[in-house]
Chain A
Amino acid sequence: MTRSDSAPVVDIRGIYKEFEVDGSRTLALDGIDLAISPGEFVSLIGPSGCGKSTLLRLIGDLTGPTRGSIEVNGKPARQARSDRDYGMVFQAPVLFDWRTIEANVQLPLEIVGVGTDERRRRASEMIDLVELSEFGRHHPWQLSGGMQQRAAIARALVIQPKLLLMDEPFGALDEMTRERMNSELLRIWERTGTTVVFVTHSIPEAVFLSSRVVVMSARPGRLTHVIGIDLPRPRDESTRELDRYYELVTEVREALKAGRGPVTEESEMAAEFGARVSPEHTP
């Protein structure tokens, strides 16, 4: 567990989050403390309903905490959002049908008010980075699911954020595409040096990508284990064959089992409602 001395990019202190479901209040997050240092790749993993997506959305100020404070880049989360300090990638690519891939990637720059030439230059740089150069003029619906998600990543990175928030970005992809996307994400992360907070359901994905894996339990959502991933970098397909990789996968799995309390429908619903204000993406 390596921690640099520099100020954390994300500093979460004493976060409680309640949701009201069926008239009764349910605790979705119970006293979360977590600090994430610059350049880290942190995965949040846990069973359905543990509040990991809620935690991510709290960092992005897409929802507010019931109690506690969150600082991003040393300022309140709301300020960080206003300053466009982070990029976000959702489970669904959320691309606009009426825009080409280029125009979709340029969208955040348009909103910030960057000039046309600069916008084009930076967008095409990012499109090259995610290897979609040939498809810049295509519309989203002409691309496969994996390519759409790469475009969404390019869009998140185009504002050169210090922090990238990813909410199960590869959850809807098939296993082989997902592994390829994992490798590409690491390549991009190493090139940009961005701090990443990554929500996932998949143990192998979390271990392969992360410098730290944060294990959460459900009902109420708590941090139970933080597991440092000391696999050598740069990682590639051969990493998945190391003995240490298997040990770590087992360790995360054991941590998840240990944290599993009795799960009721109610708590599942509470967390689901909290995590997914947006309905499941329908293709």
Chain B
Amino acid sequence: MTSAGRADSGSPRRRQAGSLLRGLVGPALAFVGILAVIAIVWETAKLIGGVPWREVAGVPIDPPWNPPLRIGLFNDVNLPHVWEIVGAFFQPPSRRSEFTLGALLIDAAIFTWRGAAIGFVIGAVVGLLLAIVFVHSRLLERALVPYVIASQTVPIIALAPMVVLWIGRDWPSVALISAYLTFFPVTIAGIRGLASPDPRALELMRSYAAGRWTILRKVRLPAALPYLFTALKISATASVVGAIVAEAPTGIPGGLGRAIITFNQQYASGPQKLWATVIACAAVGILFFLLVRAAELLTLRGRQQPAT
């Protein structure tokens, strides 16, 4: 009864592969399912509380259906039809454009993701190095960690407009801000993870007369990996947020942030274009997260899941 959950079938390897697959298919189905539910709720809301169908400039043209409740928020500008949003991907955003919105958004997403990913890598490396330093030096830890923490209770992306003005309106600014947002979770998790080995494991290493470097490589870093991945998953999202926030208010051309600003200005005439852009932003965030999660599963396979 209660033991069923633990009694997996097959050999350990098959069991692992099986649970990995099951671990992906289930959530993916659940995700699609909930998206479908949202779409249905969305359209139902429009059907019951929206505006009459085929309304032009507020004047209904022979409405085939009049919603019983008229809720102002549920109009075609605020809640465009689901199919209109999907359709927007396959149409050019303006008459002058020779590409579909989907193609443009993929380009923009790659631009934004590149900035975010470069920043992510820099931030992760810097974050880990800082953690290594702090774990080995109490003095530096006491002197600097409060600022590492304070730097994040601060709306540090508030700096984004200035950083862009310093460095220029291109991806290095984006990468810098993403790096800044990435390093903090990695540093904090790194300090905890590197300090997580059992003191007896450290004593064992000392009994082998192992140096700090060896202990770091053989004990501390492997023990820190689960912690680091937890942080990297947070950082993946944060770096994308950082990239968009760096791009948007300053209008760095080429990325999703700029696309948001552009299509926000066209919201009244074509709200589905902004919605499509927001979906592209969400996709970048989720895909980056899944990429890190996949790396985590690969690196930590064969380990017990961490308690957190």
Residues on A lying within 8 angstroms of B by beta carbon are 19-23, 63-64, 273-274, 277
Contact = CB atoms under 8 A, between A and B. Distances in A.
Given A20-B3, A21-B3, A22-B9, 16 more contacts: A19-B3, A20-B4, A20-B7, A21-B7, A22-B7, A22-B10, A23-B9, A63-B1, A63-B2, A64-B1, A273-B3, A273-B6, A273-B7, A274-B3, A277-B2, A277-B3
Interface of B: 1-4, 6-7, 9-10
Nearest to A62: B2
Contacts of A63: 1-2
A63 to B, nearest CB: 7
| Across the A-B interface, the 5 shortest Cβ-Cβ residue pairs | A273-B3, A277-B2, A21-B7, A22-B9, A23-B9
A22 B10 CA distance: 7
A20 B10 CA distance: 14
Contacts of B10: 22
Contacts of A19: 3
A23 B1 CA distance: 13
Contacts, number: 19
5 contacts: A22-B9, A63-B1, A63-B2, A273-B7, A274-B3
B191 to A, nearest CB: 22
A193 B1 CA distance: 35
A277 B2 CA distance: 7
A20 B2 CA distance: 11
Contacts of A20: 3-4, 7
A238 to B, nearest CB: 38
A274 B1 CA distance: 9
A19 B2 CA distance: 10
B3 to A, nearest CB: 4
A266 to B, nearest CB: 12
A64 B10 CA distance: 27
Contacts of A273: 3, 6-7
B163 to A, nearest CB: 44
B303 to A, nearest CB: 16
A135 to B, nearest CB: 27
A220 B119 CA distance: 61
Q: Which of A21, A64, A274 has the most CB of B within 10 A?
A: A21
A129 to B, nearest CB: 33
Contacts of A22: 7, 9-10
A23 B4 CA distance: 10
Contacts of B6: 273
B175 to A, nearest CB: 42
A18 to B, nearest CB: 11
Nearest to A278: B2
A21 B3 CA distance: 8
Contacts of A277: 2-3
B184 to A, nearest CB: 29
A273 B2 CA distance: 9
Nearest to B2: A277
B16 to A, nearest CB: 15
Contacts of A23: 9
